[in-house]
Amino acid sequence: MQRSDSVDVKLSLFSARDGTGLLRVFFLAVTLLLASGYASSASQPVESIVPVLVGAGDIARCGREAVEATAKLLDGIPGTVFTAGDNAYERGTLDEYRRCYESTWGRHKARTRPAPGNHDYRTEAAAGYFDYFGAAAGKRGEGWYSYDIGAWHVVVLNSNCAAVGCGADSAQLRWLAADLAASSAKCTLAYWHHPRWGGGRRRPEPGVQAFWDVLYEKGAELVINGHDHFYERIAPVDPKGVPNPARGIRQITVGTGGGSLYEFEKPPLPITEVRDDKTYGVLKLSLNADGYDWQFVGVPGSLFSDSGSAACH
């Protein structure tokens, strides 16, 4: 600004009777401050926002207070929401989704990436599940898909093997191998309903063995499951369940979305790191560029928690 402009402003301040001159000085001062602030902030690095993936499985029964409690946890956690199957009890009908899921977890539907469970298939071809979630659930009749979040590649699989096929020669496995081969992401995780390992009465689950074989071969970091209505974290293992800290896949079962809780039916496995069968809650994953942080967030009043960090392979 030239000196004559500055003199004009000062003169107008003292000569104006209606306050116009004072306004001119005010706006001039604001303009100079903003310009100064912009110049100083432009030289500062912009803090990156770490993407978050949060959710659970075994979720919505009408009238269960725990379902609303876990939905309220989601209210306060930004990011992408996952479901690990059995999203609406008892049969996954469209009516059950509308009555039991919509008023709770359904308020986060726009940011949800779901997976189907066995209760969803109590309605023929999981029609209620596909009708409710639409394109977000993947292709009707399949239910597997993938997406990227930050630097991570995320694969959603359908472990209802009798309905869609999970074996090495199935369409789902051929798709999985091709999808992972096409990904350039450093870090990969997958989620589906039925766990391979754990303290549930039906573990180990052989039906998803082929999932593990392909994911391990491609260097995946983490598998998330539901189905067993408790929380259990398994150490990084190979597809045979042998510990492999350097290259193994960590499994976290989080069937704690609100439907109900089960007591453990088996003692801890040698590969079990942490487990709890008394707490509803959600799993929050912070997906860093070269690793991840996990945190089990229990509903208010909970005594159990779990958290940790790991680097990508």
Give 127: exposed, middle or buried? Use CB within 10 Å, 0-12, 13-18, 19+. middle
Sites in the chain below the pLDDT cut of 70:
1-48, 202
Considering the domain architecture, whether residues 220 and 257 belong to the same structural domain is answered as: yes
Pair (8, 85) in one structural domain: no
Both 239 and 123 in one domain: the answer is: yes
Cβ neighbors of 82 (< 8 A, separation 6 or more) are 53, 54, 55, 112, 113, 114, 115, 156, 191, 224
262 is written with which tokens?
Answer: 């089960």
What pLDDT shows up at residue 89? 97
Rounded Cα–Cα distance for residues 203 and 197 (Å) = 6
Is 155 found in the same domain as 20?
A: no
pLDDT on residue 33: 40
Contact (CB, 8 A) for 82 and 113: yes
pLDDT tens digits, one per residue of 276-312: 999 999 999 999 999 999 999 999 999 999 999 999 9
Domain holding 30, by residue range, is: 3-42
Residue 305 lies in a domain: yes
- Number of structural domains in the chain: 2
Sheet with strand 222-225: strands edge to edge: 145-149, 152-156, 187-191, 222-225, 249-254, 231-237, 272-276
Mean residue pLDDT of the chain comes to: 88
Residue 175: C-alpha distances to residues 3, 127, 178 (Å): 71, 22, 5
Residues 25 and 102 in one domain: no
CA–CA gap between residue 120 and residue 128 (Å, rounded): 7
47 in a structural domain: no
d(CA 79, CA 112): 9
Indicate the residue type of 166: C
pLDDT at 200 (0 to 100): 78
Residues 56, 95 within the same domain = yes
Are 14 and 64 members of one domain? no
What pTM was computed for the model?
A: 0.84
CATH number, domain with residue 73: 3.60.21.10
Same domain, 30 and 153: no
The Cα–Cα gap between 214 and 92 comes to 29
* 216 is a domain residue: yes
Please indicate, yes or no, whether residues 244 and 213 belong to a single structural domain of this protein: yes
